[in-house]
Structure 1
Amino acid sequence: MYKEGEHELNLVWTRRFITAAIVQGAIIVGLTVFIIVGEISIIEPGVSRVIAAGGAGTWFTFGYVMYVVVGVIGVAVSALFYLYIERVLKKQYKDHNGARVVAWMHLILMNMGSTVAMGMLMLAGYAGGAAMLPTSIGGLGFDSGQAHEILAPFVEPIAIAILILIFGIICGGIGFLIVNRKKE
C-alpha cells in the first residue's frame, strides 16, 4: 500500500505488471544465456550462424527483438499506465468489476500472446535458418523454397498468438477508459 496524506492507494495492477515485466525479462535473460552457452557447446549449428546467414534466420532475430520490445518493455510500459490511473488519478480497478476483468485479460493475454508468438518466431527462424546453412557446418543445405516448408506451418499459429496479444492490449485500453471515466 502507498499512503499519500490520508489517502491510501492500492497499486495492485502496477505491481502485477511490473512483476510480469520482471518475469519476462528473466525469461529473455535465461534464453540469452542458453544461446551464448549453446554457442560454445550444445547448439549445432550455432544461433550466431543462423542469424548471420539471414534468410529464414531473420525470423529468429525478429522474434528475439520483439520479445524484448513487446514482452518486456511493453509490459513494463503498461505498468506505467496502471501507475498513472492508480496513483496520479487515484482511481481503483477494484471499484469496477468490468475494469478488473479487462485488466486481467490485458495482463494474461498480452503476456501469453507475446511469449507464444515470439517464441514460435524464434523456433521457426532457427529451424528454417539452420536448415539453409551448408551441410559442412551442420545445416541441411536447403534452398529458400525448402526452408519455407519449415516456416509455413508456423505462420497461422503466430498470427493467432499476435491477435491474442493485440486483444489483450485492447482490453487494457478499455479498462483504462472505464476507470478513467468513472466519477469519484
Structure 2
Amino acid sequence: MEVQKSTWGSRFIIAAIVQGGIITFLALSMVGIQMIFASDVNMIQFLSLSFEGPAKWFFIGLMLYLIITVAVAVTAVFYNHLEINQKKKITGKINILVWIHLLGMNIGGIGTTLSMIFAGLAGSGALALVTEGQIGKPDLAIMDSFIPPIASFIGILAIGVLCGGLAYTVAYIKKSYTISE
C-alpha cells in the first residue's frame, strides 16, 4: 500500500518547524543575554515590567509569534485533511492562492511579531543592553517609527490568510479525484 502525502500539508509543517526553530533561537538568546549580563540585567524582572509602556510590545509580539507558529502547524493539518482524506487536488489558480497563503502567513506573521518584539526592546531601553551593556531609558518617541512596518506586515499576513481561506473553500467544494489502484 502506497503512503499518501499531502504536498501542502508538508510545506506548512516545514514552515511550522522553521518558525519553531526561530522562536527557540529567540528564547535561547534571551537566556544567553541573561547569562552574559547576569549582574546587570534580570530578564524575569524585565518581563514582569512588560505590561507597562513600550515593553508590552515585546511581550505581545512574543505571544503572537507563538500563536502564528501554532497556526501554521494547524493549517498543515487542514491541507493534509483536504488532500488526503477528502482527496482534493490543489492545482491551477488555487495553487497560486495557497502559495500566497503560505508566504503571507510566514512573511507577514514573522514580520509583524519580530517588529513588535524589536519595538518593545527598543522602546523600553532593553536594546541598549547590546550596544551599551546595560538597559537604557525608555524611548516612547521611537515607537511611532514601528507602526508603518508592523501595519504593512499585518497587511501581508491578512492577504495570505484571506487567499488561503478562499483557496481552501474552493478546493473543498471541488469534486474529489479518484486514486487509481
TM range (shorter): 0.7 to 0.9
Task: Give the whole-Å Cα distance in 2 for the aligned partners of 1:155 and 1:48.
Answer: 27
For residue 41 of structure 1, report the CA deviation from its aligned partner. 0.7
4+ residue segments displaced more than 6 Å: none
Question: Which stretch has the larger CA shift, 76-85 or 122-131?
Answer: 122-131
- Equivalent position of 1:138 in the other structure: 134
TM-superposition CA deviations, 1:65-121 (whole Å, max 9, x none): 100111x1010011111011011111111xx30110011111111100111110010
Instruction: For structure 1, list consecutive stretches of 5 or more residues without a partner in the other structure.
Output: 4-8
For residue 46 of structure 1, report the CA deviation from its aligned partner. 5.2
Count of residue pairs brought into register by the alignment? 168
Task: Give the whole-Å Cα distance in 2 for the aligned partners of 1:25 and 1:61.
Answer: 17
Residue 65 of structure 1, aligned match among 56, 63, 66: 63
Identity of aligned residues (%): 32
Judged with a 3 Å threshold, the aligned counterparts in structure 2 of structure 1 residues 55 and 149 are, in CA distance, closer, same or farther, namely: same
- Equivalent position of 1:120 in the other structure: 115
Alignment of 1:18-167 (within 5 A): 18-41=13-36, 45=41, 47-53=43-49, 54-70=52-68, 72-93=69-90, 96-130=91-125, 138-142=134-138, 147-167=139-159
- Equivalent position of 2:179 in the other structure: none
Judged with a 3 Å threshold, the aligned counterparts in structure 2 of structure 1 residues 23 and 120 are, in CA distance, closer, same or farther, namely: same
- Equivalent position of 1:178 in the other structure: 170
Task: Give the whole-Å Cα distance in 2 for the aligned partners of 1:24 and 1:46.
Answer: 26
- SS of residue matched to 2:125: helix
- Equivalent position of 1:168 in the other structure: 160
Task: Give the whole-Å Cα distance in 2 for the aligned partners of 1:85 and 1:20.
Answer: 18
Q: TM-score normalised to the size of structure 1?
A: 0.83
Instruction: For structure 2, list consecutive stretches of 5 or more residues without a partner in the other structure.
Output: 177-181
Task: Give the whole-Å Cα distance in 2 for the aligned partners of 1:162 and 1:115.
Answer: 10
- SS of residue matched to 1:183: coil
Q: TM-score normalised to the size of structure 2?
A: 0.84
Instruction: Please provide the CA RMSD for this pair.
Output: 2.3
- Equivalent position of 1:6 in the other structure: none
For residue 55 of structure 1, report the CA deviation from its aligned partner. 1.7
Task: Give the whole-Å Cα distance in 1 for the aligned partners of 2:55 and 2:75.
Answer: 30
